[in-house]
Chain A
Amino acid sequence: MDAMPKWADVILIPLISILLAAVLSALVIVAIGESPLAALQLMIEGALGSTYGWGYTLYYATNFIFTGLAVSVAFHARLFNIGGEGQAVLGGLGVALACLYIPWPHWTLALLGASVMAAVFGAAWAAIPAFLQAKRGSHIVITTIMFNFIAAALLNYLLIGALKAPGMEPATPKFPEATQLPSFQDMFSFGEATLFRGAPANVTFFVAIAACVLVWVLIWRTRLGYEIRSFGQSESAAKYAGISPTKIIMVSMLISGALAGMMAINNVQGEAERLVLNAVEGAGFIGIAVALMGRNHPFGVLVAALLFGFLYQGGAELALWTSIPRELIIVIQALVILFTGALDNMVRMPLQRLFLAMRRA
């Protein structure tokens, strides 16, 4: 028998954790001499007050949905994929190669081709740490951290070398017209009314939603998902049930890497329309916070990604209009990871005691 009802586990605990993170963030804002309420109002206005703001919020959220799903699929197999950053970098490389060297006739085909390349490159970058974990028992956290650095250096090397466009900037040439994805402005502006003007949200958002559904189907409605979850719950029980640990580690990490890599169709193909240095901008790491907050459920990931999209766009507005630097968002992100992840038991233990006491009464 569980100590707590399910709703407390799924909703109450994350809510309290987020509240704690929010209170501490507010204290930080007070400590640097600004008003948290005014800051929140500014963030809401900047991120949700116009279709332009929404366009940015949804653009960031798209990135975080992919990386959050990536982290959560690995979490289901009890693997901590901290390498989403590197996998997304490699995904960007795949997208760039697909867009630059294949003459696509139409953006729909380009989207399909680039998605496949992004997924393959991201998965390939996750494959080596996965293999080392499965066959050599080397810790996946350490190897994926190392692979983040190696990916950054590799991209750096290619962007000042083989892939560099003429000019000073370390970036690839602009992708051809036919590969450019329709933005929300193209899709949702009718006649006179121009919505989402200049915002980078694009058709990839719907790919991300589809990815959420597919991951849900995979984890809860397929045999493979069942195997991944049982491996994550108990490795020895999974082994007795005839589930191969090597297969689960490899497959779940490949899926995870592919999802992280697919983030690149949003930021590289959809927004920048060329590959630049530091294109991922830490979205791979935010995936950790998103997955923890979303309790590894695709719907939770979607909600958490929207929240972080809001924080990102709101944070940019704050940096623009107040003396609060953008790095405040990193602090909030850290507090969310701390309270929903590492200090989970701090909230859970007293609550469990409370529910047990209530049941006895």
Chain B
Amino acid sequence: MDFATLLQMLDATLRLATPLLLACLAGLYSERAGIFDIGLEGKMLAAAFLSAAIAAVSGSVWLGLMAGIGASMSLSVVHGLASITFRGNQLISGVAINFLAAGLTVVIAQSWFSQGGRTPQLSGGARFNPITLPFAETLQNVPIIGPIYYELISGHTALVYVALLMVPLTWWVLYRTRFGLRLRAVGENPAAVDTAGVSVIYLRFAAVGICGILCGIAGAYLATALQAGFVKDMSAGRGFIALAALIFAKWRPWYALYACLLFGFLQAMSLRPDVIERVLSFQVNGQLLDVLPYILTVVILAGFVGKAIPPRAGGDPYVKER
């Protein structure tokens, strides 16, 4: 594989890893606070639809982004109500949210745009366009570093950089702030947090809210940056791959970045079967690449490669003693 192809592959990896990373960090906040969320997929899908719809109508991608976050947040509120306020089953709530999004997006898209459940194609200011970082063009001709900077690091949409910045930010919030300490504590031992006089309900709602914002950005990225418009079921299992990455990363932010880059690389590879064949000199089955994240996660869960231990209070509604 020559240098240019490698850069292309890594560039695609970064682009495909971005929605995974945002959704994975979203899940990280929620699950670290003890709320399982298998509705990441649905929230992304809802955000993808509404961001594309509003961007198409208003012509402004930023309004689209806000709308996407709003859509995702409203599903988060449903999840919060079901799993925190009414102490329902968090997994069932997640399943319901996934189906709600899968159905509603198509029904509303058909009613608004009559294009078979898709939004109009976005262009210009209705999309996130690539940003060229300073000096990228002047440095382009410097050997090795120039192309890396120009091809790989520069030239992505704003949301890619946002996603990457979220990793250190999440680390800082979780491990260096009072809020983060309490958030982690509420996922391990909510009774202790309650005894210390901190509201479990508030903390969990905050976590679910942050999860909604990040899923919203992830969905908006899908429809307005990675692709130009919404199509039916466009999240295509990414929410579940993000969930897999979260387990793979054992609920830690930096490892989440590595896991998402790995899974993004697998997705990039399955898009370029020609490159794989040239490098490995045999054909790799595309289906195998697609399901490798899931297989790897099952292997991790089986405990063959270290043990993945989820937050201890994950999935349990908190009931105050009376």
Interface residues of A (CB under 8 A from B): 28, 31-33, 80, 82, 128, 132, 136, 138-139, 141-143, 145-147, 149-150, 153-154, 156-157, 285, 288, 292, 323-325, 327-335, 337-338, 341-346, 349
How many angstroms between the C-alpha atoms of A152 and B301 in the bound complex? 20
Given A136-B301, A136-B303, A138-B303: A342 in contact with B92 (beta carbons within 8 A): yes
Q: What would 26 A/B residue contacts be, using CB atoms closer than 8 Å?
A: A132-B298, A138-B303, A139-B310, A141-B38, A142-B301, A145-B38, A146-B298, A147-B294, A147-B298, A149-B294, A153-B287, A153-B290, A157-B285, A323-B111, A324-B107, A325-B106, A331-B99, A333-B103, A334-B98, A334-B103, A341-B92, A342-B82, A342-B86, A343-B82, A344-B88, A349-B86
Q: How far is the CB of A140 from chain B (nearest CB, A)?
A: 10
Q: Which residues of A contact B285 (CB under 8 A)?
A: 157
B294 touches A150 (CB 8 A): yes
How many angstroms between the C-alpha atoms of A282 and B51 in the bound complex? 27
A331 touches B302 (CB 8 A): no
B92 touches A32 (CB 8 A): no
Q: Mark B39-68, 1 if CB is under 8 A from A, else 0.
A: 000000000000000000000000000000
Q: Which 7 residue pairs spanning A and B have beta carbons closest together?
A: A330-B103, A342-B93, A334-B99, A138-B301, A331-B103, A32-B111, A334-B100
Q: B208 near A: Cβ within 8 Å?
A: no
6 more A-B residue pairs beyond the given contacts A333-B103, A342-B89, with a C-beta to C-beta distance below 8 A: A150-B291, A157-B287, A331-B103, A334-B98, A343-B86, A343-B93
A337 touches B310 (CB 8 A): no
Q: B247 near A: Cβ within 8 Å?
A: yes
Q: Which residues of A contact B291 (CB under 8 A)?
A: 149-150, 153
Q: B244 near A: Cβ within 8 Å?
A: yes
How many angstroms between the C-alpha atoms of A281 and B98 in the bound complex? 16
Could you say which of B96, B102, B308 contacts A341, with CB atoms under 8 Å apart?
B96
Q: B83 near A: Cβ within 8 Å?
A: yes
Q: Which residues of B contact A132 (CB under 8 A)?
A: 298, 301-302
How many angstroms between the C-alpha atoms of A324 and B111 in the bound complex? 8
A138 touches B308 (CB 8 A): yes
A285 touches B95 (CB 8 A): yes
Q: Which residues of B contact A31 (CB under 8 A)?
A: 111
Q: B262 near A: Cβ within 8 Å?
A: no
B89 touches A33 (CB 8 A): no
How many angstroms between the C-alpha atoms of A343 and B295 in the bound complex? 33
B102 touches A327 (CB 8 A): yes
Q: B240 near A: Cβ within 8 Å?
A: yes
How many angstroms between the C-alpha atoms of A329 and B103 in the bound complex? 7
Q: Which residues of A contact B287 (CB under 8 A)?
A: 153-154, 156-157
Q: How far is the CB of A139 from chain B (nearest CB, A)?
A: 7
B97 touches A343 (CB 8 A): no
How many angstroms between the C-alpha atoms of A37 and B278 in the bound complex? 60
Given A146-B297, A325-B107: A288 in contact with B302 (beta carbons within 8 A): no
Q: Mark B277-307, 1 if CB is under 8 A from A, else 0.
A: 0000000010110110011011001110000
Q: Which residues of A contact B243 (CB under 8 A)?
A: 142, 145
Q: Which residues of B contact A334 (CB under 8 A)?
A: 96-100, 102-103
Could you say which of B82, B91, B107, B114 contacts A80, with CB atoms under 8 Å apart?
B91
B92 touches A292 (CB 8 A): yes
Could you say which of B97, B295, B301, B310 contacts A150, with CB atoms under 8 Å apart?
B295
Q: Which residues of B contact A147 (CB under 8 A)?
A: 294, 298
A343 touches B88 (CB 8 A): yes
Q: Which residues of A contact B83 (CB under 8 A)?
A: 342
Q: Which residues of A contact B91 (CB under 8 A)?
A: 80, 82, 141
Could you say which of A32, A139, A323, A346 contacts B86, with CB atoms under 8 Å apart?
A346
Q: Does more than half of chain A's interface fall in helix, strand or loop, or is it mixed?
A: helix
Closest chain A residue to B289, Cβ basis: A153
A-B contacts at CB below 8 angstroms, number: 146
How many angstroms between the C-alpha atoms of A324 and B90 in the bound complex? 31
Closest chain A residue to B83, Cβ basis: A342
Closest chain A residue to B108, Cβ basis: A32
Q: B110 near A: Cβ within 8 Å?
A: yes
How many angstroms between the C-alpha atoms of A229 and B287 in the bound complex? 39
How many angstroms between the C-alpha atoms of A157 and B81 in the bound complex? 41
Q: Which residues of A contact B107 (CB under 8 A)?
A: 28, 32, 324-325, 327-328, 331
How many angstroms between the C-alpha atoms of A331 and B46 in the bound complex? 13
Q: How far is the CB of B201 from chain A (nearest CB, A)?
A: 15
Q: Which of B236-281 contact A (CB under 8 A)?
A: 237, 240, 243-244, 247
Q: B104 near A: Cβ within 8 Å?
A: yes
Q: Which residues of B contact A128 (CB under 8 A)?
A: 298
Closest chain A residue to B287, Cβ basis: A153
How many angstroms between the C-alpha atoms of A333 and B183 in the bound complex? 33
Could you say which of A33, A142, A154, A288 contacts B95, with CB atoms under 8 Å apart?
A288
Q: Which residues of B contact A324 (CB under 8 A)?
A: 107
Q: How far is the CB of B50 from chain A (nearest CB, A)?
A: 14
Q: Which residues of B contact A325 (CB under 8 A)?
A: 106-107, 110, 117
How many angstroms between the C-alpha atoms of A146 and B294 in the bound complex? 5
A345 touches B87 (CB 8 A): yes
Q: Which residues of A contact B97 (CB under 8 A)?
A: 334, 338
Q: B78 near A: Cβ within 8 Å?
A: yes
Closest chain B residue to A128, Cβ basis: B298
B89 touches A341 (CB 8 A): yes
Q: Which residues of A contact B110 (CB under 8 A)?
A: 32, 323, 325, 327
How many angstroms between the C-alpha atoms of A32 and B295 in the bound complex? 41
Q: How far is the CB of A327 from chain B (nearest CB, A)?
A: 4
B106 touches A82 (CB 8 A): no
Q: Which of B96-128 contact A (CB under 8 A)?
A: 96-100, 102-104, 106-108, 110-111, 114, 117
